[in-house]
Amino acid sequence: MHNKKEVAIGAPATGQDEWNALRESLESGWLTQGPKIGAFEHAFAEKFGFKHACAVSSGTAALHVMLLSLGIGKGDEVVLPALSWISSANVILHCGAKPVFVDIDLKTFNMDLSQISKKITPNTKAIMPVHLFGLCVEMDKLQELAGDIPIVEDAACAIGSQFNKQSAGSFGKIAAFSFHARKVLTTGEGGMIVTSDSTIASSIQSYRNHGAIPSKKALPEFTHLGFNYRMTDLQAAVGLVQLNKLDSFIKERKYFAKLYDQKLKAISWLSIPGVANNFDHSWQAYVCMVNEKTAGKTRDEIITKLASMGVSTRPGTHAIHKQEYYKQQFGFKAEDFPMADLADRTSLALPMHNRLCDDDIAYVVDCLARITS
């Protein structure tokens, strides 16, 4: 199989249904904060059993407002994994609080729960598990460790994921999801915040809309500093269509993940992701680990070589403590969180999306085999 193909790392699965939904919204005259927003929020909450769902403009906005709605601020600390997309930590700083990192478990890429207790101080106001790549954190153990400290879930990658048959986003006080183009469900950009607390839900609705609260006057009143984090009706219209396809999207991704599992066994220098029986993975991403010594090449050299063969890959995600801003502000060194550092240097995300086909997977694996043959 040496004929060159182009295989993207991600591609949104959109079609005529999404076009029709966009056209309907455009023709209705409602482009923002119209009926599609409420319909999307209601459908999302109903599908996963959430009491409240509040749509916002991005996953980062969802994370930011999630913390603001709990009153996280100056002097507070939030515990989170050192390996995640940069937004997970940035929003803590934007609240005036301090991110407190824990290392990860390489088997799952999620936070190492054995390190949580020693990170908790009197200033700890929340613990933020990140369900990375679509695999839930072992939430029963985390709940036990957290005690009375609020759990705020970064479920950006975990729409449709479950642990012990319970949906991601339903374990803590509040959770944030992302609808970025590489997520299983996409609105281009967009996010959703979910909670069972009506007071928190009201706070979320205010923060996303400039800090406005309902008023008997002709115009709303503004009681605190808020943001324009509102989702458009166009995004919500697409989200409603995508939500109806979510189960089939996840079913397809599970099939592709299984196909990778089978075919990659022959690649001795690549460790494939594992999933225990009580976890239901949504496979937002399929991330392996490269044994550079066995491969005879670095992860980055492999990415470059694959790109020349038409296969788009990338590192799994960042070790946040190694990013320049965090090194300068906090004096972090790579070795402070060695497992996150290793994942940062050697993780490899292979193409995973709903436009793949069996031949694409076979071609990706063939290219991997040829790199070191």
* 183 tagged catalytic: yes
Catalytic residue among 183, 245, 263, 322: 183
Q: Give the whole-angstrom CA distance, residue 319 versus residue 301.
A: 19
- Which residues touch 53 (CB under 8 Å, ≥6 apart)? 41, 42, 44, 45, 192, 193, 194
Give the whole-angstrom CA distance, residue 364 versus residue 373: 15
Give the Cα separation of 55 and 190 in Å (integer): 7
Task: Find out whether 300 and 174 touch, Cβ atoms under 8 Å.
Answer: no
Distance of alpha carbon 56 from alpha carbon 155, whole angstroms: 14
DSSP 333-367: -GGGSHHHHHHHHHEEEEP-STT--HHHHHHHHHH
Contact in structure between 339 and 103 (CB atoms under 8 Å): yes
- Residues 227 and 266: their CA atoms lie apart, in Å, by 51
Task: Classify 163 as helix, strand or coil.
Answer: strand
Return the active site residues: 183
